[in-house]
Amino acid sequence: MNFKLIGVNHNSAPLELRERLAIPESRLPDAVQTLVRHPGVEEGMVLSTCNRVELLTSTKQESNLRSFMGSYFGLSADLLSSHHIYEFEHQEAVRHVFRVASSLDSMVVGEPQILGQVKEAYAVARGLGAVHSRLDALVSRAFAVAKRVRTETAIGGASVSISSVAVQLAEKIFGSLNDKTVYVVGAGKMAELAARHLISSGVHKIIFSNRTHERALQMAEAFGGQAEPFERLYETADRADIILTSTGASEPLFRREHGERFLKDRRNRPMFFIDIAVPRNVDRAMDKLDGMFVYDIDDLQSVAAGNTAERKKEAERAEKIIEVEVERFASRMKSLEVVPTILSLQEQCETIRQAEMDRIRGRLGKLTPEQEAAIEAMTRGIVNKLLHTPITTLKSAASGPEAATIHEIIRRIFNLNLKNEKLDK
């Protein structure tokens, strides 16, 4: 079970580092293809969200994923050796993947969005031919585990997405949002989720702007708002009490000079920026202006922490499910490891049986169909009885501590080493 995973998330690394590693959707195929070309990597997929960047691989030999991160992201040796980057192997990697898909490793435990993001990352990697048997088995099982967690626990009942946490923060600041104007910059899934939560929280005035104006128009129509061309963003933003940003821009859209102008146009009425984008869309220097308040994705952790207690019990139940599923998956993968040996053993015995059948035909002369059938049945029965014990032993011992020893003994007894070396290649 040669799985390796390396990455950073909201718990391990500050936002500044996560911004450097964030991979936009347009670059994801390149990242996956570069990863599977790295020495030792057979299969690979890349998960990049606002809270994490993770590389999941299946390897056949030693593979230094830290060196890949260093070369691909241009990280220094100090950063590569820092505690900000975590790395898991084998069963620990399986456990981590199951926990991520089940939203137990999310900033907001139980939020459903992460499962969709894992599915998208998997679809990209599989479409590129970067996912085969082992990773396919792991990620497919992760989806099933996530479904079981959500079905058998109430972990999703009290959970909220990052977008809804952002709306909770706005409510905490303003009290009621009924008379507030909200400007949503960006029209991706995060923005769409935020819009849904805003509407359900009583917002009546909502403006959408996106680089692709057609998408902003679609959002406005869907949520009963209005759309503004992205080119008029700075001319129209001062109309909003709350600006929620969620774009893929690599540089901040809003800087200090914009804030100064907005405050002047609003006659110093306060503005609140909720920036849920990575990299950030709003320069933190804006927060230093009187009347301008900026919250980024790390600030949302304080709001999310308030929901932790009520979800703790359900999360503990979910963790127990994860442990059971990790053990089951490990046993299944170990069982699969003996399949080539079993097939090679059966093939070798069948070759011997056929050779003996040909030899006996030469000695007995022409046989009747009935005689042929009788000899065929007899020899197959002998082979099956002889193979029953070694095959059963291999299967039953596959998940035990003596598996490798038994595996090697059977290979040696039946002289299967050369055949299996060819299979491995």
Active site residues: 50
- What are the residues whose beta carbons fall under 8 Å from the beta carbon of 170, sequence distance 6 or more? 177, 180, 182, 198, 201, 242, 272, 274
Interhelix angle for 308-337 vs 133-152, to 10°? Answer: 150
DSSP string, 21-59: H---GGGHHHHHHHHHTSTTEEEEEEEE-SSEEEEEEEE
- Nearest partner of 285 among 313, 318, 259, 315, judged by Cα: 259
- Nearest partner of 281 among 50, 60, 68, judged by Cα: 50
How much of the chain is in helix, strand and coil states, percent to nearest 5?
A: 60, 15, 30
On whether the CB atoms of residues 242 and 182 are closer than 8 A, the answer is yes
On whether the CB atoms of residues 284 and 313 are closer than 8 A, the answer is no
Give the H or E element holding residue 87: strand 86-89
Omega before 229 within 30 of 0, i.e. cis: no
Q: Encode 341-360 in three state secondary structure.
A: HHHHHHHHHHHHHHHHHHHH
- Nearest partner of 183 among 216, 215, 213, judged by Cα: 216
Count CA within 13 A, CB hemisphere, residue 360.
Answer: 13
The Cα–Cα gap between 46 and 24 comes to 11
Exposed / middle / buried, residue 270 (Cβ in 10 Å: 0-12, 13-18, 19+)? middle
- What are the residues whose beta carbons fall under 8 Å from the beta carbon of 151, sequence distance 6 or more? none
The Cα–Cα gap between 45 and 64 comes to 16
**Token pair of 145 as six digits:** 């585990």
The Cα–Cα gap between 179 and 78 comes to 50
Backbone angles phi, psi at 46, to 5 degrees: -125, 130
